[in-house]
Amino acid sequence: MFPVGWQLPVAGQWARFAVFPSKEYSELTRVCFFREFASASDSVSPMVTQKKLTAALFQRFQRLQRGFPLLPLFCGIHLLAYWLRFEGQLVEVGWRHLLVASLVVSGIKLFLFSWLRVDVRWSRFVTFHDLVTLAQAVTLSSFLILLTGYLAVPALQAPRSVFLMDWAITLLVVGAIRSLARLIQERELPLLRFQRSSPVIIVGANESGETLLRAIRRNRNLSQRVVGFCANDVSLLGAQLGGVPVLGMASETCQIAKSHQVSEVLIMSGELSGQTVRRIVEDCRQHGVVVKVLPSYEQLLRGTMNLRPREVSIEDLLRRDPVQLNLSTLHSWIDDHPLLVTGSAGSIGSEICRQLVQFAPSKLILVDQSETGQFFLEREIRSLAPDLDVQVYVADVCDQSRMERIFSDQKPGIVFHAAAYKHVTLMESNPSEAVRNITQASRLLADISHQNEVKSFVMISTDKAVNPTSMMGACKRAAELYVQALAAESSCRYVTVRFGNVLDSAGSVVPIFRQQIECGGPLTVTHPDMKRYFMTIPEASQLVIQAGAMGQGGEIFVLDMGEPVSIVKLAEDIIRLSGLKVGEDIDIEFVGKRPGEKLFEELHITNERHVATSHPKIMVAASEPKDLGQVRFEIERLLALGNESQVGLRMALQELVPEFDVSAAGFESRPMAA
């Protein structure tokens, strides 16, 4: 019996209670339980404490009860250790001594396994952490057995080699029991390894690839068997991941697949650049090897997607490296601030909202004309952030009184202005609407932000604003000039973020091509030489937020959009990815360049110079801001023309934006009358 005054940690107190349930420890046990489970508040109810005590005791009893079948196993292991130590001559030891020693040793092991919550059942989810916990329990039990033998139980006094062998055998046997189910589940036993008939190769010998390997092994619904990896790092050649060899480089995927008689190659979404995926797909297609994509590493960890292979998409072919965000800067900029997003139901606006809720804004204010879009976005945002205060407005950003009321009521600290018309051809035939929705609305929101002492104002622009040839692009450039000029006169940090097309946005080229394929074709392209810059919606939205946090006021940020993409090549890729042949199943038809369109988009205006920033994908288009009074005067003259004359609107806009090429829309450039 331990002395009454001997103090142990809380877990130790429970150990004493379980082994020595005498009256002298009842009060000590109650105090220890209160320390472990009760609140720091002095107002904790004794009834609540008693219920927690009962529940804890019941749980510990259940764990001990589940471990009772282990008693014969532990007894047998201890007897085996004696048998090995004494070379089978157990009579010399004495059967009574062996029986007492085995029962005491088994009891100590059972208690410690229960205390450390070591699960010894078969499990296909056993991990390295579980085996480490097992080793800790076995080691601690062996130490306690030795200590007990020398201090209290003469029957446990035996050669130390007995306890060493008992430790090793227990670790091996229990570890094998725990791991056997996983070995069977993952087909790692020799008799089960080749039951899956379809050999595959994983491109990407890294943590993501190893995660994918384990996921495939555990999923009974998949018919694949991984025979090797292809790596991007030459130093990994000859190495193994999870017992599977690295067979070669990613550039050699097709040749490796052929040499190993593999008919399917798996790529994890988001792990390879678009150029690498394109090269692998083209090589494998020529040799009849199928390339499929599985959910990304993050999606697997979050459990947001099923482990089902899908076909390669156009987004995979155009993918670029993930955006690296400066999270500390973003948190200090966003956290505890009310945020307002215009155009929140649009492709970019809605994604900005999704990205923002990952931080800790005090409020998110959604403004858009689309009732249906706002309805579904609100549902999504509330599911992503149930505790976030979300305010939804169905409103026109051109409505001055409505905008002033929203700003006055909600008092936003940061504004993201993403609302604007975007279709070039429609704005060419509706120029007054382009001026109203793009230039006038941007000026209105910028002025209201200044009046309401907004901290930051971030306006979304487009590469079509660079040397514009369309009303849409010229109106965006006019908005850029106004916001930049106002920044010099206001304490609000006004910044503009300029970028190109985004993939899969509503009404963009990729959904149109897919719709044309569903209708049997043809795919319509305006010109054989047409090229455009593309970004994914999440990439563009993340960089917009990062640029907004970096801005000090007056900057026009330009996002790194990579290399321009041939629209003809894009159409051909989409046809092939749909399992069809260009020119046989689906034709490509050239319909001619439309008014306001450019063959190539540009990154900067002639008088701008690009300056690098602290972020590799964000640059500044540096230029001198125009005089605010002059810009206001030009915009007022533009608005005064209204619907009077398309030619007049274009000429007035050219006065404000001299680089606007009105001839691209079929109009001649001539000076405005005073």
Which residues are designated catalytic? 464
What is the Cα–Cα distance from 103 to 73, expressed in whole angstroms? Answer: 11
Exposed e or buried b per residue across 201-223, where buried means at least 16 C-beta atoms within 10 angstroms of its C-beta: bbbbbbebbbbbbbbbbeeeebe
Which of 419, 414, 413 has its CA nearest to residue 399? 419
**Environment class of 404 (CB within 10 Å of its CB; exposed 0-12, middle 13-18, buried 19+):** middle
Categorise residue 77: left if φ over 0, alpha if ψ from -120 to 50, beta otherwise.
Answer: alpha
3-state secondary structure 464-521: HHCCCCCHHHHHHHHHHHHHHHHHCCCCCEEEEEEECEECCCCCCHHHHHHHHHHCCC
CA separation for the pair 417, 454 (Å, rounded)? 13
Query: Contact 115/15 with Cβ under 8 angstroms?
Result: yes
11, 15, 18, 21 alpha-carbon torsion, rounded to 10°: -100
Q: How many CB atoms lie within 10 A of CB 41?
A: 6
Q: How many CB atoms lie within 10 A of CB 477?
A: 26
Question: Cis link prior to 564 (omega < 30° from 0)?
Answer: no
Which two three-digit tokens encode residue 3? 């002395």
Looking at residue 430, what DSSP letter applies?
-
Q: Which helix (H) or strand (E) holds 203?
A: strand 198-203
